[in-house]
Amino acid sequence: MAGRQARVERSTKETRISASVNLDGTGRYAVKSGIGFLDHMLEQLSRHSLIDIELEAKGDLHIDFHHTTEDTGIAIGQAVSKALGERAGIRRYGDALIPMDETLTRVALDASNRPYLIWKVKFSKPKLGEMDTELFKEWFQAFAQAAGVTLHVENIYGENNHHIVESCYKGLARALRQAIEPDPRQTGAVPSTKGVL
C-alpha cells in the first residue's frame, strides 16, 4: 500500500488545473482555485480525510465559477482514482454522520469503480458569498465520476447554508478516509467477489 500518490494535469479552453494527492498523508493542503469558498471546502476535505491535497487552478472566472468548480472535482477525483490503482487491500466502504451546529448530514461511499451520485441536499439561498449553491452538486458529481465512487449525500436537516455544505464536504472526507484505508485482514486482496473493482 506504499506510495499511494498521484498527480493529474488537466488543460482545456476553460481551465488549467494541476492536482496531486497523497492518500496516506496527514491532511496537509495547498489549494488555490481562485474561488475562496471552494478553497475552504477543499481544505476541509483534505484535513478530515487525512489526504494531502495540492491544487492550483486557473479558470474562466470572468464568465462564472461553473467550469472551475466542476474541473477541480474532476482533477481531484482522477488523482484519487489513480492513487488507488487496482484498489486492492482497501476497506472499500465508508460512511459518516456529521453534525455541525443545527445541521446533520449523512454520507455513504463505495470505492467500487462504479461512479454514481445521489444528492439529497437543498439550499435556501442561491449563493454563498459569490458562489452559486447549485455548483456544489456539480463538484460532487464530477468528483464521484472521476474518482469512480458510488456516493450518497443526504442533508437530514439544517438551516444555515454554510453549515449544510461544509457538513457535506466533511462527510465525504470521513467516508473517503474509511473506504480507502488499508484493511489488515485482506492485504493485497481486491474487496469484491469479482476479483476486480
For the cut 60, the answer to whether the pLDDT of residue 104 exceeds it is yes
CB 8 within 8 A of CB 88: no
Q: For residue 192, what are the contacts with CB-CB under 8 A and spacing of at least 6?
A: 92, 112
Locate the DSSP E strands across the chain: 5-11, 15-22, 29-32, 52-59, 93-100, 103-110, 116-120, 127-128, 131-132, 150-157
The pLDDT value recorded for residue 194 is 87
Is the whole-model pTM more than 0.85?
Answer: yes
> Which among 102, 139, 108, 134 is positioned nearest to 121, based on CA atoms?
134
Name the CATH architecture for the domain at 5-186: 2-Layer Sandwich (3.30)
116 exposed, middle or buried (CB, 10 Å; 0-12, 13-18, 19+)? middle
pLDDT at 143: 98
Query: 1 pLDDT exceeds 60?
Result: no
pLDDT in tens, 128-175: 989 999 999 999 999 999 999 999 999 999 999 999 999 999 999 999
Kindly tell me if the per-residue pLDDT of 193 is higher than 90: no
Cα–Cα distance between 44 and 31 in angstroms, integer?
Answer: 11
Domain ranges for the chain, please list them. Answer: 5-186
Phi, psi of 43 (to 5 degrees): -65, -40
Which helix or strand (DSSP H or E) is residue 177 part of? Answer: helix 161-180
Residue 56 confidence class, pLDDT cut points 50, 70, 90: very high
Q: What is the pLDDT of residue 51?
A: 98
DSSP 8-state code for residue 186: G
Average pLDDT value over all residues in the chain: 96
CA distance 25 to 6: 12
